[in-house]
Chains A and B, each alone.
Chain A
Amino acid sequence: MRGNWGETILGLAVLAFAGIFLAYALGVTGMGKQGATYELTARFGEAGGIQPGAKVTVSGVKVGDVREVTIDPKTFLAVMRLTLDDKVKLPSDSTAKITSDGLLGGAHIAIAPGGAADDLKPGGEIANTQGAVDLFGLIGQVMRPKSDAPAEKPAPAASPSAAPKGTADLPEM
């Protein structure tokens, strides 16, 4: 192992480079300075594309992230555990809304602060929530606005006698 100083120095250089880049990356993303945080929960009717690690923003500025996404087996709501910066105290009537940066992906939780005098306590729950909008459902409604209506109407109109007969068959069977 003695005598190959060149290799040793090269190895150290590689390690040093990786360390410097890692430090730079952590500095840029602010992950290195892990300040004090507190937790909140929020329940949503539609989680959309939210995954653990998604951003939580206030006025478009990142203040925390999503720790965990689970389903409440009783109410079937998506329960999200959020970790927020300790410096950001949210009024108790704040609203949490799932939005996305663009058409595809970048789902995050945007919190609109309310006006109440008291703040949400650590471990508290954001009561006012608005789940993700099903974009493709909306597009479908716009593109075929009356898709449900014509399908239902002609059926009784075309065969008024057939429908009662069909239903009348069932009890006899």
Chain B
Amino acid sequence: MASLSQVLLGPVAALGRATRDALASVGRVARFAGQGIAAALTPPWYPRQILSQFLSVGFYSLPVVGLTAWFTGAALALNIYSGGDRFNASTVMPQIVALGITRELGPVLAALMLAGRVASAMASEIGAMRATEQVDAMVTLSTDPRRYLIAPRLIAATISLPLLTLITDIIGIAGGMQVSHYLIDLAPGIYVTNTVDFITAWDVESGLIKAAVFGFIIGLMGCFHGDNAKGGARGVGRATTSAMVSAAVLILASDYLLTSVFARP
């Protein structure tokens, strides 16, 4: 009769195990994040590492992010012009483009591009170092890998994504202006004046706050999955994929949460 109770309780036990595993992995990420933040906020820092991460995360992402922003702004302007025409809203196209870019699309698209470009690179870099026992060697040389590897990446990602978002906002609006100039024949001066008169500082600021959170998520996911990579080259590959996917999912989920906090009047 033990088998009957096993049959009956089997699914429940499996559910419990899955729940416990999920909670445990949330706990592992949280502990990793706490240690990372502690390492990032307290000395000693490694300025060379931080600078080189700023270059690779921030500066070298500029071309990709700029192109994304330009095309998004242009497509958004075109869509709102043709779609908004149905209820005579095409005249407020500059304002809607500005709102959409600064509040939502600028931070989210820059973050998603960075998740693809940076989170995966971080995971594969740290994962490869784990696989080849370079991280263990670092510990032997009494260098804390959290301070040397994790903290510079968290700092660089959290600070450079808001800066990239600022560039995204500007270039996205420029993309919208280009479309409105060549296809709709709206003078660039009028487009820019409408935009600047309309957007408030908070539209931009809320986007930048979002971007800082997204940047932290990207750094955290990249480092966490890299640090937990197991099983050689295959493990590194898996870590790279899950870093990118989990960063993207967390970015979009936290985007909704942050927006619902910011959108209150």
Decide whether A and B are members of one complex. Answer: yes
Check B63–A18 contact: CB distance below 8 A: no
Within 8 A of B (CB), among A47-104: 51-53, 55
Binds B, one of A3-11, A37-45, A137-145, A156-164: A3-11
Name the contact of B192 in the complex, choosing from A10, A17, A24 (C-beta under 8 A). Answer: A24
Which applies to chain A's interface (DSSP): helix, strand, loop or mixed?
helix
Interface residues of B, count at CB 8 A: 22
Which applies to chain B's interface (DSSP): helix, strand, loop or mixed?
helix
Check A22–B192 contact: CB distance below 8 A: no
**With A7-B63, A10-B63 as contacts: A28 and B193 at CB distance below 8 Å:** yes
Contacts of B200 in A (CB 8 A): 51-53
Binds A, one of B52-60, B141-149, B242-250, B252-260: B52-60
- Number of A-B residue pairs at CB separation under 8 A: 56
Contacts of B167 in A (CB 8 A): 14-15, 18
Contacts of A4 in B (CB 8 A): 60
A10, B200: Cα distance in complex, Å: 31
Contacts of A1 in B (CB 8 A): 52, 55-56
Check B60–A25 contact: CB distance below 8 A: no
A4, B55: Cα distance in complex, Å: 12
Contacts of B60 in A (CB 8 A): 4, 7-8, 11
Chain A residue, CB-CB nearest to B65: A14
With an 8 A cutoff between CB atoms, is A31 at the interface? yes
Check B192–A25 contact: CB distance below 8 A: yes
